[in-house]
Amino acid sequence: MLALPLALLAGVFVVLVAFGVTGSSTGVLHSMVSGGDDPRLVAGEPREIRSDEWFVQSSWVISQVEQSLPVENETFPGGMDATVQNDLPNADWSTAFRPHLLGFFFLPLDQAMAFRWWFPGLGVIAATYLFAVTLLPRRPLTSLALAVGFFFAPFLQWWYLSLTLYPALWAMLVMSAIIWSLRSRKRGPVWILAALVAYVTPALAMGIYVPFIVPVTLVAAAFGLGAVIARDVGRPRFTQRLVDISPVLVAGLAGGLVMVIWILTRLQTIQAFTSTLYPGERLQQVGQAGVNEMSQLFSAFSSFALERTRGAPLSVNSSEASTFFLPGVFLVVVLGWLVWARRKNGAALDVLAIAVIGALALMFAYLLVPGWDPLAHLLFLDRTTNARMRIGFGVVSVVLVVLTAVRFDDARSRGLVPPLWVKVVATTLAAGSVGVVAWRAVDITGSVDAIARRDLALLAIFAAAFVLIVWLMASGRFLTAATGLLMLTLAQSGLVNPVYVGVFDLRQTETVQRIEQIDARDPGAWVGINTSLVTTMMLVESGVQSYNGVQGSPSSEMWEAIDPTGSSEQAWNRLATLSWVPGEGDPAPRNPAPDQIQMTFDSCNRFAAEHVSYVLTQAPLEQACLELLDSVEQGPSTMLIYAVRSGQ
């Protein structure tokens, strides 16, 4: 019975992969290059803000497939290490530790993309369910509702990438393995879970997005430390508990060893990335969060409007404004009373609950308390940011809900029930968080009248529903509350990502096929003139050599050609999108935004004459050294292909 949800998840995974269903927003491209309705779009709508997925990662994935999954992608002159940036399938040994990418070795593109999409996502549900049901074996439905609700959290849906999902998956899996190792006398299942931890740890590390890794590691470490110290979790003697947890420690060492080998074998690429001016090695000072950041943290009940408001008024876009529902934060009042009552009745001090509450307190201190930066640096906390810390709050909230349910059931069996004032305080704090968010939104917009009446009504309903859920949990009605939380989360973010078949593949367009034909006859480097992102994506997905794309770290060969003196290094030594506009003279890199490099293209300039053979553009170019080779009617646009003819 307890394993049935895991079996159902496996079945859902197989079906989704077989039909090539994803949540990809690459359908954004359909209206740019085609007419009519997109036959791949089943439900929902593509999200333009999800450009990290549809523009960056998906186009590079298709480029990899076009180039037969190389270790070194040859699109940029000088190549790009495909084993580090952009979560790309490649033939390197390290891909064996990125299970979501394995489908590219034996499945068609649509099915491989579905495999890549769903493996870490459904893995989050599986790991969260495993964690909850391990501590709540008599509450499988509650555990499942919590797990599915956590997966559909606004933050995870708006940031849906493997580098976001694996940290949550890993933390839940580690905590599950710790509890199993301390409680189970059967070593077989313990070693299986430990092996999974060892396998997932490199997948977590290879995402190399430290701001998401640090917060969840803090929660998992606090939980693990509390579980090992607690006398009532495993065997009585501390030394026995250390022996029991050894499989998880061995798993951590094994996974860490793979991670170290991976880093050392591509150290040059990683050093180049960390040496960029943007993002470089960014360190966050503690205590920098204000009312706005705290409002964002607790604003999940307004997530239904994120697409229409584009994150306003609390943040700059929908993804940055997204967060989690955090009932566990308010249940600290209930859990604290249960810890006190348990101790008062002669039981051992609840070190596990205290450790998890301590992790929550440390995260709040990171946001609100200035002046302890040296300690934060020692704990690696300054490698994350105020906004990215939300993933830690999301994970710790689930842990606190589960621990409260465990302790509530134990107290109820002893005839103890939290008094009314405890429930009232927890619920009042939840209502207060809603009030702060509402006050801040009105303060920014200037008037309640600036918010549509329909939205005001929905905000009131969703806010009241969340407060009611906290009351139900504080009253011990966890199944009802977890089901309500699942429904509330689905209403907020269940359709953030569309239901889409596979990926929109620009290689199927007539323009890309012409590009490939021209390049096959006479290979050369390409430049795409950008009035939209389509030209860049066409060149990247076609597999031809190009000066367009998103670079993780600069290619020395490419930038020596563009900027031989290095005078513009401040502009190009960064993780950024490379784009071009017509101009005169040298390319002259500049930064419209920190993650953008825009250059001017002059076909009669030295750079073009020596390094560029072809130009792709959506608008005619009046330059003396260009010869029109082809014109393609591509949906609403006319794509023009020019050859560079120096000396004309």
pLDDT of res. 236 = 83
End-to-end C-alpha distance for the chain, whole angstroms: 77
- CA atoms within 13 Å, Cβ hemisphere of 562: 31
- State how far the Cα of 283 lies from the Cα of 286, in Å rounded to an integer: 10
Residue 280 DSSP class: S
- Contact indicator for 447, 484 with CB cutoff of 8 Å: no
pLDDT of res. 623 = 93
DSSP labels, 223-238: HHHHHHH-TTTS-SSH
- State how far the Cα of 319 lies from the Cα of 79, in Å rounded to an integer: 31
Other beta carbons within 10 Å of 254: 17
Q: 648: pLDDT confidence band, cut at 50, 70 and 90?
A: very low
- Contact indicator for 332, 400 with CB cutoff of 8 Å: yes
pLDDT above 80: residue 449: no
Phi (first) and psi of residue 216, to 5 degrees: -70, -30
Q: Mean pLDDT across the chain, nearest whole number?
A: 94
- Helix H, strand E, coil C: the string for 487-547 is HHHHHHHCCCCCEEECCCCHHHCHHHHHHHHHHHHCCCCEEEECCCCHHHHHHHHHCCCEC
pLDDT of res. 279 = 84
Q: Which of 234-248, 415-429, 448-462 has the lowest mean pLDDT?
A: 448-462
pLDDT of res. 355 = 98
Q: Token pair for residue 534?
A: 């389509």
What average pLDDT score do residues 562-581 get?
Answer: 95
pLDDT of res. 1 = 65
- CA atoms within 13 Å, Cβ hemisphere of 416: 19
Question: Which of the two residues, 309 and 430, has the higher pLDDT score?
Answer: 430
pLDDT above 80: residue 618: yes
- State how far the Cα of 382 lies from the Cα of 610, in Å rounded to an integer: 45
Phi (first) and psi of residue 29, to 5 degrees: -75, -20
pLDDT of res. 515 = 97
- Contact indicator for 498, 508 with CB cutoff of 8 Å: no
Task: Give me the sign of the Cα torsion angle 335, 340, 341, 347.
Answer: positive
pLDDT above 60: residue 228: yes
Phi (first) and psi of residue 287, to 5 degrees: 70, 25
- State how far the Cα of 67 lies from the Cα of 311, in Å rounded to an integer: 38
- Contact indicator for 479, 143 with CB cutoff of 8 Å: no
pLDDT above 60: residue 203: yes
- Contact indicator for 17, 501 with CB cutoff of 8 Å: no
Q: 647: pLDDT confidence band, cut at 50, 70 and 90?
A: low
- Alpha helix (H) residue ranges in 563-616: 569-572, 606-611
pLDDT tens per residue across span 591-609: 999 999 999 999 999 999 9
- Alpha helix (H) residue ranges in 230-331: 238-244, 246-264, 267-274, 291-297, 306-309, 318-321, 327-330
- State how far the Cα of 17 lies from the Cα of 501, in Å rounded to an integer: 10
- State how far the Cα of 632 lies from the Cα of 514, in Å rounded to an integer: 9
What average pLDDT score do residues 204-222 get?
Answer: 95
Contacts of 422 (CB under 8 A, 6+ apart): 333, 334, 337, 474
Decide: residue 90, CB within 10 A, 0-12 exposed, 13-18 middle, 19+ buried.
buried
Q: 273: pLDDT confidence band, cut at 50, 70 and 90?
A: confident
pLDDT above 90: residue 257: yes
Q: 347: pLDDT confidence band, cut at 50, 70 and 90?
A: confident
pLDDT above 70: residue 450: no
**Alpha-carbon 523 to chain mean position:** 37
pLDDT tens per residue across span 88-144: 999 999 999 999 999 999 999 999 999 999 999 999 999 999 999 999 999 999 999
Question: Which of the two residues, 22 and 240, has the higher pLDDT score?
Answer: 22
- Helix H, strand E, coil C: the string for 58-101 is HHHHHHHHHCCCCCEECCCCCCEECCCCCCCCCCCHHHHHCHHH
Q: Token pair for residue 559?
A: 């930038």
Residues paired with residue 527 on neighbouring β-strands, in sequence order: 615
CA dihedral 270, 273, 274, 276 (to 10 degrees): 160
pLDDT tens per residue across span 363-387: 999 999 999 999 999 999 999 999 9
- State how far the Cα of 183 lies from the Cα of 3, in Å rounded to an integer: 18
Question: Which of the two residues, 509 and 309, has the higher pLDDT score?
Answer: 509
Q: How many residues are there in the chain?
A: 648
pLDDT above 80: residue 646: no
User: Which residue type is seen at 260?
Assistant: V
* C-alpha distances out from residue 222 to 189, 240, 275, 398, 561, Å: 23, 20, 32, 14, 50
Contacts of 468 (CB under 8 A, 6+ apart): 484
**Nearest CA to 6 among 93, 111, 109, 134?**
134
